[in-house]
């Protein structure tokens, strides 16, 4: 099965300077490290990347920074979905102008209780506003954060209406059966798990890969699973490692915890910083985390 987007993609975290401006140098170092560890792609500017706390200008600057250090446009999958369709289209056009053709697109998420018909219209309007037939869109289903589930009926309708554009979905809701149902219904459509432990079972049932947070830390283990799907001597220990790291990343609020763990791994405490409304782990939490971190497989 060939997919427009597949493999192990990291929902890259965004490091900040002391004044909470973006540390571009540390970010691009991190991206190159992720590719060296086995990531197929960098899904920058997602939920984990705190993109929703960045200005549009900062988002464009991050994509440009990654390109500037020589990361191939084909390895970058930026998030471009904002509440205002005009801004989603503008960010997406900026990516395309830089040769980056595949984006992860959140639905507009402020207004709640909207219909499939309304969400279809929102995506259609944005795709038409972008007006570029190179565009490839990965839908983004993360209802526990966005408040806006993307139903299977809506996904099917979008694929039918824009078969060359709507190429995949990042499903971060954690329900494997939903991912499997989408994969079964739409061969060649890329279902990407948003939770690291689900990469293995999803790949075994027609999925294309993952876009995950823990890949900021253990990309090599995810890649080992992707490359050795039928070799239990590889996937067994890799899955065990993934589960342990993922579980630890959920011991406190996930994004600050992931960033604290990147700090522990890299030795750079600056990684602990987050932008409000998120807060960095406090010293007691960090000490607790650091203790358990030492014991990880």
Q: Kindly give the pairing relationship between strand 166-171 and strand 190-193.
A: parallel
x/- binding map, residues 67-96, to its own copies, per CB under 8 A? ----------------xxxxx--x------
Task: By CB under 8 A, name the one of 31, 34, 42, 54 that touches its own copies.
Answer: 54
If binding is defined by CB under 8 A, does position 113 make contact with its own copies? yes
Residues 66 and 28: beta-carbon distance below 8 Å: yes
If binding is defined by CB under 8 A, does position 144 make contact with its own copies? yes
Query: For residue 127, how many other CB atoms are within 10 A of its CB?
Result: 22
Q: Is the peptide bond before 283 cis (omega within 30 degrees of 0)?
A: no
Number of amino acids touching its own copies (CB under 8 A): 43
Nearer to its own copies, 5 or 122 (CB): 122
The contacts of residue 277 (CB under 8 Å, 6+ apart) are 53
The closest alpha carbon to 242, from 230, 228, 255, 224, belongs to: 224
Cα–Cα distance, 64 to 94 (Å, whole number): 10
The closest alpha carbon to 8, from 164, 150, 214, belongs to: 214
If binding is defined by CB under 8 A, does position 119 make contact with its own copies? yes
Segment contacting its own copies by CB under 8 A, of 6-14, 169-177, 182-190, 272-280: 272-280
As measured in angstroms, the least distance from the Cβ of 5 to its own copies is 23
Is residue 1 helix, strand or coil? Answer: coil
Nearer to its own copies, 144 or 228 (CB): 144
If binding is defined by CB under 8 A, does position 117 make contact with its own copies? yes
As measured in angstroms, the least distance from the Cβ of 67 to its own copies is 22
Q: Where along the sequence are the contacts to its own copies (CB under 8 A)?
A: 20, 47, 52-58, 83-87, 90, 107-115, 117-119, 121-122, 124-125, 144-148, 253, 255, 275-279
């Amino acid at each position: 099965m060939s997919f427009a987007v597949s493999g192990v993609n990291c929902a890259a975290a965004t490091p900040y300077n002391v004044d909470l401006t973006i540390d571009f140098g540390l970010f691009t170092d991190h991206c190159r490290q992720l590719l060296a560890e086995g990531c197929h792609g960098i899904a920058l500017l997602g939920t984990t990347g705190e993109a929703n706390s960045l200005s549009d200008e900062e988002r464009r600057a991050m994509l440009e920074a990654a390109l500037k250090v020589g990361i191939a446009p084909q390895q970058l999958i930026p998030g471009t979905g904002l509440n205002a369709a005009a801004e989603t289209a503008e960010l997406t056009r900026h990516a395309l102008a830089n040769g980056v053709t595949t984006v992860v697109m959140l639905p507009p998420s402020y207004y709640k209780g909207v219909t499939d018909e309304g969400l279809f219209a929102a995506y259609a309007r944005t795709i038409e506003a972008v007006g570029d037939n190179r565009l490839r869109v990965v839908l983004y289903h993360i209802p526990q954060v966005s408040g806006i589930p993307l139903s299977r009926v809506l996904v099917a309708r979008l694929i039918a209406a824009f078969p060359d554009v709507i190429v995949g979905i990042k499903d971060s809701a954690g329900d494997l059966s939903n991912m499997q149902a989408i994969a079964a219904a739409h061969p060649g459509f890329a279902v990407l798990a948003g939770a690291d432990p689900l990469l293995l079972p999803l790949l075994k049932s027609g999925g294309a890969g993952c876009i995950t947070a823990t890949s900021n830390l253990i990309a090599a283990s995810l890649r080992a699973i992707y490359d050795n799907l039928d070799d239990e001597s590889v996937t067994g220990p890799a899955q065990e490692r993934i589960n342990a790291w993922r579980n630890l990343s959920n011991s406190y609020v996930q994004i600050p915890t992931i960033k604290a763990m990147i700090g522990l791994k890299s030795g750079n405490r600056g990684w602990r910083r987050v932008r409000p409304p998120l807060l960095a782990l406090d010293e007691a939490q960090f000490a607790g985390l650091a203790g358990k971190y030492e014991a990880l497989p």
